Amino acid sequence: MRIVRGVLAMLALSAAVAAVACGGSSKPPAGDTAPAAAPAASATSGPKMQPYANLAQVMRALPFPSSNIIFDAQTHDPGAPKKSEGGTGGGASSTFANIYTGWPLVEHSALALAETANLIMIPGRLCQNGKPVPLDQEDFRKAAQGLVNAGLAANKAAQAKNQEQLIEVSNQVAEACAACHEIYRDAPTDADRCTPKSAAKK
């Protein structure tokens, strides 16, 4: 039984530090770069396929919480009975946080990883530092496909309610994240992020 403790510890540092993903600094700058909002599409044409957030914002919203739910399931059995906290109130966050729990929550998180790959491949999205997401780079596209594969594998393990299988799949999730982060996020400076290694050496 191999548990991805290193990655879990890394991702648990803080949302502000670990979720910068191909973007700018750990603190969102005052001019957080995001595509300009487009005029609302007509009811007949439907929404235009375009980005509304920068890459760092997408990563913080979807794969950061989703991957941590998968990593947490390595040591906390999603199928174990939950202790009733009793009482009422707590607002919408408290109320709706308990609607999807256990293995269904792991399934949803796994599928969110796979869907993230679709979102990050939408043309026109920018990184937090204003650079375009490197969609033209083969290694970036390969990393995005790796995220799809990892998400689908995690979903399969969650559907089977197999914690041992999920532990193994968690390593695949960690590798999928690292495949992009090591090239495009873990750069010497914020300005170097989202820059292909070949271009960074010039």
pLDDT along the chain (202 residues), means of 10: 48 35 41 56 78 97 96 92 62 62 95 97 97 97 97 98 95 96 93 81 49
- Within a domain: residue 26? no
- Within a domain: residue 31? no
pLDDT at position 191 is: 94
pLDDT at position 54 is: 97
- Within a domain: residue 45? no
- Within a domain: residue 67? yes
Nearest to 102 by CA among 68, 76, 128, 63: 76
At 182, which amino acid appears?
Answer: E
- Within a domain: residue 32? no
What does the chain come to in residues?
A: 202
- Within a domain: residue 114? yes
* Whether the predicted model's global pTM rises above the 0.85 cut: no
Which residue do the tokens 């495949």 mark?
Answer: 179
Tokens of 59: 């990563």
Helix (H, G, I), strand (E, B) or coil at 4: coil
- Within a domain: residue 35? no
Could you tell me where the DSSP H helices lie in the chain?
Answer: 5-11, 15-18, 55-61, 63-72, 91-96, 102-120, 138-159, 163-180, 197-200
- CATH, residue 166: 1.20.120
Structurally, the chain folds into a number of domains equal to 1
CA atoms within 13 A of residue 69's CA, in its CB half-sphere = 24
pLDDT at position 170 is: 96
Tokens of 64: 């950061």
| Sequence-ordered list of residues with C-beta below 8 angstroms from that of 118, at least 6 positions apart, any chain | none
Strand partners, 132: 126
Give the domain range for residue 149: 5-20+51-77+100-200
- Within a domain: residue 118? yes
pLDDT at position 46 is: 87
